[in-house]
Amino acid sequence: MIEESNLPVNVYCKFVKQRTPEWMNIRSTAAVTESTVYKAIGLETLRAEQLHFDEVVRGKPKLLVPQDVEVRLQHGQTNEINGIATLVAVILPT
């Protein structure tokens, strides 16, 4: 489980270039990222939320991703810039 004492204090992610080794290292310590926010807060299925919890909190290994899902993930990666904007547009107005 990620404890408050384990969180990086002096890391300014805002100034780290995406997809660099430093960025990947910082991202690997995050409990929730833009890619996992829908699962983490329960906007997908309960099963997806439970799997995310098991991977992040309990430390269980991630399941292998089927090829068709890998194609969709690539599409999501390409359009990642729109991810949080969509979340904000859906959640904040409610």
Domain locations in the chain as residue ranges: 4-91
Q: How far apart are alpha carbons 55 and 49 in whole angstroms?
A: 10
| Nearest to 83, CA basis, from 12, 8, 18 | 18
pLDDT tens series, the chain, 94 aa: 555 556 555 667 777 888 899 888 888 888 888 788 888 888 989 999 999 999 988 989 988 888 998 999 898 888 887 877 888 888 777 6
Say if residues 34 and 84 touch (Cβ distance below 8 Å). Answer: yes
For 64, the token pair is 């292998």
Residue ranges with strand state E in 12-93 = none
Q: Which amino acid is at 94?
A: T
pLDDT for the residue numbered 77: 82
pLDDT for the residue numbered 14: 74
pLDDT for the residue numbered 87: 81
pLDDT for the residue numbered 11: 66
